[in-house]
Amino acid sequence: MRCRSRSSTTSRPAAVPSTPLYQVRCWQYGRLLFEARDVELSGDVAGLKLRGTDRNRQPVIVTDTGNATCLIRSVPATRR
């Protein structure tokens, strides 16, 4: 029996994370405060105002923190 080792140049597809990732954008008085991608959310979202889906059936959440309004969208697996 003969064994061959795989070449180190063989590329493997990147593993898809098991937890969903999100894009977070927050505004205050109409100005964008910050934008973050590939954010993991834990459980409940504080100040939840609206939860729905976009045209691609991905989750969309609008929340109000008292100081800012945030839009939280799921990052599609194809764009990770």
- Kindly list the domain boundaries of the chain, sorted by start residue: 22-79
pLDDT for the residue 30:
93
- What digits encode the pLDDT tens for the residues 24-62? 999 999 999 999 999 888 767 667 788 898 898 888 989
pLDDT for the residue 5:
46
Say how far apart CA 5 and CA 24 lie, in whole Å.
44
Strand order in the sheet with 22-28: 31-39, 22-28, 69-74, 59-64, 48-53
3-state secondary structure of 79: helix
Q: What is the mean pLDDT of residues 54-76?
A: 88
Q: Where do we find the tokens 């697996």?
A: 77
Q: Cβ(23)–Cβ(35) under 8 Å?
A: yes
